[in-house]
Structure 1
Amino acid sequence: MHFTENISNKLSELITRELNYNDDKKEIITYAIETALLFVLGSFFLILLGYSLNALMPTVIAAFFGSSLRRVSGGAHFDTPLKCLAFGTIVYSFLGVSTKKVVEYDLTNRQILIFLLLISLLTVAFLAPVDSESKPIKSTSFKYRLKIFSMLFVIISFLVVALVDSELVIVSAVLGVVYQSITLLPVFNK
């Protein structure tokens, strides 16, 4: 049992005992607490690392776009949420630093960004959603909806590239989407 799971169990035990909830409600509360803790921890470490690398804004933007797409597309999983959190923090911070360098050296090319999004759209169209053994998606209609939402999110990213005037924002957004699309590849989902 990892430390966020341990804290979640203790807090849900306190809450459910006080409210006289059954085990089903306790499980829901435990899951909600653990999810909230992981979000807070992940956000804290992402902001801390992005700030310490002097790339806070592009790190947060890349993480927002990547994690938003991940919500509907799924993707590669680690065996613990903390490993996923640590890896994601490092990758999104690296993307933030990379974005700053691309913009700083004036290497931004909208055609390349659009091409990368097109590859991401095709990847999402063919592979999303990617589920896991621990969270299988059984409903075909739900899978179809997740695929459509994933594709719509990439299309919205195209609009960001077309309409936003900030190179920092568009490069960060595209790198976040591209990274998340890569996690859909079968090589990362065995």
Structure 2
Amino acid sequence: MSLNDMSNNLTDIITRDLDFDEDKKEIIAYAIETSLLAILGTLLLILFALIVGALKAALISAVSGVLLRRFSGGAHFDSPTKCLVIGAIIYSALGVLGQKLAEFNLVSDYMLWISLAIALGIVWILAPVDSENKPIHSKKLKRNLRGLSIGVVLITFVISILSSNSLLSISMSLGVFYQSLTLLPIFNRRGGG
């Protein structure tokens, strides 16, 4: 049974005694499917990160990257399953990388700041990146999403300056830097916003 089928079945159960039209049922089914995907993605990330022994760093990278993605958009896979699996693998790998870089003190503050400056430049120029399935037509929405994306990068920059926890700074920076790379036209058919 696919997630779509599961969300439709749950919607039927939830709305059985309610007098909802098809539009309202579709909204509920979408919310259920989105929630199931988020839960499944989180569990998959936790599983992979536990396997490679980098749970904390992977979660930090994922939270910062996903927060940026929420506003910036970026590369899309052709199925949610691919997105979940590949995302869990990439963020687990970033967790391992962040953990090793922090453990062996291989990254200076300047390196973090340069990577975040590059991320800021990419976000400034390209965000938000929409998809063929969800194009962004409103100029005001594009401007707001770009501003929020820039804000996420700047907050990450401030945290990396103020934090004495190198694992936190490195993992956040890796998540934001990776997410900014997904905005590049090479990963998107439509290019930037």
**TM exceeding 0.5:** yes
CA displacement at 1:20 relative to structure 2: 2.0
Unaligned runs of 5+ in 2: none
CA displacement at 1:18 relative to structure 2: 2.2
CA displacement at 1:112 relative to structure 2: 0.6
| Equivalence for 2:124 | 125
| Equivalence for 1:139 | 138
Q: Could you tell me how far apart the structure 1 residues matched to 2:62 and 2:87 are?
A: 8
| Equivalence for 2:159 | 160
| Equivalence for 2:61 | 62
| 3-state SS of paired residue (1:19) | coil
| Equivalence for 1:3 | 2
Is the 1:16–1:22 contact (alpha carbons within 8 Å) kept by the matching residues of 2? no
| Equivalence for 2:170 | 171
Q: Could you tell me how far apart the structure 2 residues matched to 1:84 and 1:4 are?
A: 14
Unaligned runs of 5+ in 1: none
| Equivalence for 2:12 | 13
Q: Could you tell me how far apart the structure 1 residues matched to 2:12 and 2:162 are?
A: 49
| 3-state SS of paired residue (1:35) | helix
Percent of aligned pairs with the same residue? 48
| Equivalence for 1:38 | 37
| Equivalence for 1:88 | 87
| Equivalence for 2:49 | 50
| Equivalence for 1:103 | 102
CA displacement at 1:8 relative to structure 2: 0.5
Runs ≥4 in structure 1, deviation > 2 angstroms? none
Q: Could you tell me how far apart the structure 1 residues matched to 2:160 and 2:104 are?
A: 19
Q: Could you tell me how far apart the structure 2 residues matched to 1:18 and 1:138 are?
A: 37
What's the RMSD between the two structures over aligned residues?
0.9
